[in-house]
Amino acid sequence: MNKWIGMGVGGALALMSMSANALTLTLEQGASSVTIADGDASDLIAGANAISWAGAIGTFSVNVSTTISYPLTALPVLMDLNSVNLGVGTLTITAEETFTDLVPLASLLATIGGTTSGEGIEYDVYINTGSGDVLVSSLDFDTSPYAGSVSELLAEEILAGPYTIKQVVTITHSEPGQLTSFDAEVREVSEPASLALFGLGLLGMGALRRRKSA
């Protein structure tokens, strides 16, 4: 039984021995969409485990998106998705990768940073172990203009067999000329670091209780 827990309580997942395949990048804006598989003619990066695409899609006149996955990325980074976007409307960018031969030993951390002059950025991370996508993290920037970063620790019972990680970033612009730039990544976190983040969360809860009782 899988059990997903936000903010770092639970078992371990990780990546000491793994191979990767089936990396894809998909962009959707209204009725327009494009999907680029690793090695396609429209992939601007010739090597494996990396995709880059540039062009216009729907009402977005400029888009440059790149996704890189392990083993091309150096651990602890497992997947990275970054993009620069200029246009109006709602644009969804999805990077997806299937990993095999995993030895679960560590937790995962989702982080997104960047800038936007639009209405916000939503960053969702899904993991699929064979029974459908499970949302394990949802982060967003909902103020404009925005510059900064947010993170969330993911924890999971030990997995067996292949799994797929999907990063989904949704950008909303209400006016022409608005610009969004971001870098999102999923990385492994050593167990001491996971426990430290959990401990900080407990300290924050304790301080909140003392403030309420004062």
Q: Is 130 left (phi over 0), alpha (psi -120 to 50) or beta?
A: left
Phi, psi of 203 (to 5 degrees): -60, -40
Query: Which residue carries 């095999």 as its tokens?
Result: 100
DSSP 157: P
Phi, psi of 118 (to 5 degrees): -90, -160
Rg of the chain over all Cα atoms, to the nearest angstrom: 18
Separation of alpha carbons 130 and 159, rounded Å:
11
Burial degree of 138 (CB within 10 A; 0-12, 13-18, 19+) = middle
- For the chain, give the percent of residues with pLDDT over 70: 72
pTM: 0.78
CATH number attached to the domain at 4-208: 2.60.120
Look at residue 195 in the predicted model and tell me its pLDDT.
41
Look at residue 163 in the predicted model and tell me its pLDDT.
83
Phi, psi of 105 (to 5 degrees): -135, -10
pLDDT digits (tens, 9 = 90+) for 15-53: 333 444 589 999 999 999 999 999 999 999 988 999 999
Residues of the chain with pLDDT under 50: 1-20, 105, 192-212
